[in-house]
Amino acid sequence: MLATGSNSLTGYRLSIRFGADGFSFSVGSTLDGSVVQTDRFPVSEPTAAADVLRQALQKPYLMDYRFQSVELVADTLTTIVPLEHFSKGDMLAYYRLCFPSMVNGGWSMADMQYQILSPVEAVMIFRLDQSLLRIVQECYPDVKACCTDAQLVEHFAALQEKRPVPENAERRDAYVSFGKERFFVAVFHRNKLQYAGSQAADNDSDRIFLLLGIWKALDMNAQRDACHLEGASKELQQTIGEYILNVEN
């Protein structure tokens, strides 16, 4: 069961994020959303991930909290499809279409997960090693599997909801979140999601080149459309501003 530890009326949530460099644990308060404790568990070799996760889940401090929810978040490549065209049986086929070289390495249908994004009427498909999910389920049977990109889409959709535009408006809003090794872009037109995707880039030159490539491919207007940045350095913001007029943080 999820509820463990003390009988405090304050509830907590546990977020376990899994990426290329290992696991990060974050304990947050459901009362005010604050983060009360974090921990990192590096993984040097992919084959060691399962052992590292098992050891991390045995940390004594986890018993000090009552977890109302637990999520295992995969920081991995994703693809998004309209909700009306989604079928569970086609998830691996969708992934093969987008990432043929990676899927041909032995991934199975059991590794495929999906997350419904109700605000944008779409489904995010991602890969999560089923063995890692089972390890977490041994401690927290009701754990929710999700992915970083889906969380970003929901976050950006909420921001866009606060910036409503007329149905006949031509302006589009691009939201960009920069990470160490890749960045994610979501574009909204007339409050509808038009594009969502991530690009691998670990330096500003590649980030600028790829972002402007997306801008051009979507035929976005450098004077009219807006670009909202998260996680960008001041230098990166300034350089992007040389190409796109409306850059906001």
Query: What three-state secondary structure class fits 196?
Result: strand
Query: What pLDDT was estimated at residue 4?
Result: 45
Query: What pLDDT was estimated at residue 98?
Result: 82
Distance, in Å, from the CA atom of 114 to the CA atom of 150, rounded to the nearest integer, reads 9
DSSP letter string over 173-223? EEEEEE-SSEEEEEEEETTEEEEEEEEE-SSHHHHHHHHHHHHHHTT--TT
Query: What pLDDT was estimated at residue 6?
Result: 46
Write down the pTM of the prediction: 0.85
Q: How far apart are the first and last CA of the chain?
A: 41
A 10 A CB-CB count for 165 gives 15
DSSP 8-state secondary structure symbol assigned to residue 61: G
Distance, in Å, from the CA atom of 167 to the CA atom of 173, rounded to the nearest integer, reads 14
pLDDT tens per residue, the chain (249 residues)?
Answer: 344 444 445 689 999 999 988 999 999 998 888 999 999 999 988 889 999 999 999 999 998 888 999 999 999 889 999 999 999 999 988 888 888 766 555 667 888 999 999 999 999 999 999 999 999 999 999 999 999 999 999 999 999 988 877 766 789 999 999 998 889 999 999 888 999 998 889 999 999 999 999 999 999 998 899 999 999 999 999 999 999 999 987
At residue 140, φ and ψ (nearest 5 deg) are -135, 85
CA distances in angstroms from 123 to 21, 106, 146, 154, 238, listed in the order given: 26, 23, 11, 11, 34
Range list of β-strands (E), 52-96:
67-74, 78-82
Query: What pLDDT was estimated at residue 163?
Result: 82
Rg (CA), the chain: 20
CA distances in angstroms from 66 to 28, 104, 127, 206, listed in the order given: 11, 41, 29, 43
Query: What pLDDT was estimated at residue 103?
Result: 56
Write down how long the chain is: 249
Cβ-based burial of 99 (10 A; exposed 0-12, middle 13-18, buried ≥19): middle
Query: What pLDDT was estimated at residue 246?
Result: 92
* Tokens found for residue 51: 């052992």
Query: What pLDDT was estimated at residue 106?
Result: 61
Domains of the chain, CATH where assigned: 163-248 (3.30.420.260)
